[in-house]
Amino acid sequence: MITSSSNPRVRQVAQWQTKAKERRQAGIFVVEGFKMFGEAPEEAVAEVYISEEALERAGRQPELMGKLDRTGYETVTEEVFAKMSDTQTPQGILCVVKRPGHGLEQLLEAPRPLLMVLENLQDPGNLGTIVRTGEGAGVTGIIIGSGTADIYAPKTVRATMGSIYRVPVVCAEDLVEAVGRLHRGGVHTYAAHLQGKNYYDGFSFREATAFLIGNEGAGLSPQLAEAAEGRVRIPMEGQLESLNAAVAASLLMYEAHRQRFALK
C-alpha cells in the first residue's frame, strides 16, 4: 500500500502524465480506467496502480481480478491516486503501458494497406478520434509528423477509447520523405485539399491507399500537398471554409471502407 504522494513511484507517474519527453524516454504511456486496463495487452502492461475502493469493485469481477493477478498491481490510497490521476473524476485504476515499436516498413507489409498521414494536427481530441474511427473503418496504420500532438498524451489516449492498442502508429520526422516511401511501396496517396478538382467519391480506394490530412486551421503544407499523387475534395455547402480534421478524415476513411467491403 502506497500512502504517501511523495513516494518516488507516485512522483514518476505524475511526471509521465504531464511530460511528453519523460514518456518518450521511458518508452511508455499511461492509461486510466477499467476499460483501458481491461483492453491493454497483458504483455505490454508494466505497472498497475489501483485505489482501495476500486480494488473492492474489481474483486466482484473475477475476469478483471484475474488480469490484475497476472499483471501484478500496487494498491494506493484514494488521496495518492488523485495525485497520480490526470482525470477530474478518476475511476481508481491506472496502468503504465510499454509503447509498441511499429515502423513504416511494417505498415507496408499489410495487404492493400489503408493509411492516414497526419500533418501538424494540434487537437488531442481530433487525433484520438481519427485513431478510433480508423479502427472502425479498417485503417491498417497511421503516420504522424513531428508537429502533430503527442499520440501518447493522456487526452489523446482517452479519445482513442482503446484503439491505441490496436491501430499501429508511426512517427515520422519528414512526412514528405515518408510519402515518397509509400509511393515506392505501391501506395496511392491522396491529399484532402480545398483545391481538389474532384470529389472524393470519384476516386477508387480499393488498392493500397493513404489519405493526407493537415492542420485544423492551415490545412496541409504546400510541400506535403505537392508530394501527394492526387487531391480529393469534400463537398461543402454554405460559407464553410473547411471541415473539422477528424470529420474530414472520417469521411475519407469510410468511403474507402465502403468501396472495399460494401461493394464486394
CATH number of the CATH domain containing 128: 3.40.1280.10
User: Are residue 78 and residue 179 in the same domain, yes or no?
Assistant: no
DSSP-assigned letter for residue 137: H
Question: Can you give the pLDDT at residue 195?
Answer: 78
Cell of 62: 473475477
Is the same domain home to 66 and 123?
no
Report helix angle 124-137 to 245-257, nearest 10. Answer: 10
Q: What is the mean pLDDT of residues 43-54?
A: 97
Q: Which residue has the higher pLDDT, 237 or 160?
A: 160
Residue 263 clears pLDDT 80, i.e. is over it: no
Q: Which three cell numbers stand for residue 240?
A: 464553410
Q: Are 35 and 105 in contact (CB under 8 A)?
A: no
Domain that holds residue 89: 8-98
Residue 2 lies in a domain: no
Whether the full predicted model's pTM is greater than 0.85, yes or no, is yes
The arithmetic mean of pLDDT across residues 145-153, rounded, is 95
Report the pLDDT value the prediction gives residue 264, as an integer from 0 to 100: 55
What is the H or E stretch that residue 154 is in? helix 154-160
State yes or no: pLDDT of 23 exceeds 90. yes
- Of the chain, the end-to-end C-alpha distance in Å amounts to 56
Does one domain contain both 240 and 116? yes
What is the per-residue pLDDT for 2?
Answer: 95
Q: What type of residue sits at position 183? A: H
Domain end (from 83, 98, 113) = 98
The CA distance from 3 to 230, in Å, is 58
- Boundary (domain end) residue, out of 43, 73, 98: 98
For strands 45-51 and 93-98, give the pairing.
Answer: antiparallel
Read off the pLDDT of residues 60-99 as tens digits, 9 standing for 90 and up.
999 999 999 999 999 999 999 999 999 989 999 999 999 9
Q: What percent of the chain is modeled with pLDDT above 70?
A: 98
pLDDT at 216: 83
Average pLDDT, the chain: 94
Task: Note the pLDDT of residue 261.
Answer: 87
> What is residue 193's predicted lDDT score, i.e. its pLDDT?
87
The CATH number for 39's domain is 3.30.1330.30
pLDDT (tens digit per residue) in 179-218: 999 999 999 999 998 777 888 899 999 999 999 999 988 8
In this prediction, residue 3 has a pLDDT band, given cuts at 50, 70 and 90, of: very high
* Strand order from edge to edge, sheet including 93-98: 28-32, 93-98, 45-51, 74-76
Decide which of 50, 75, 98 is a domain's last residue.
98
10 Å Cβ neighbour count for 224?
22
Q: What is the CA radius of gyration of the chain?
A: 20
What is the mean pLDDT of the segment spanning 121-125?
94
Examine the pLDDT at 240 and tell me if it is beyond 80.
no
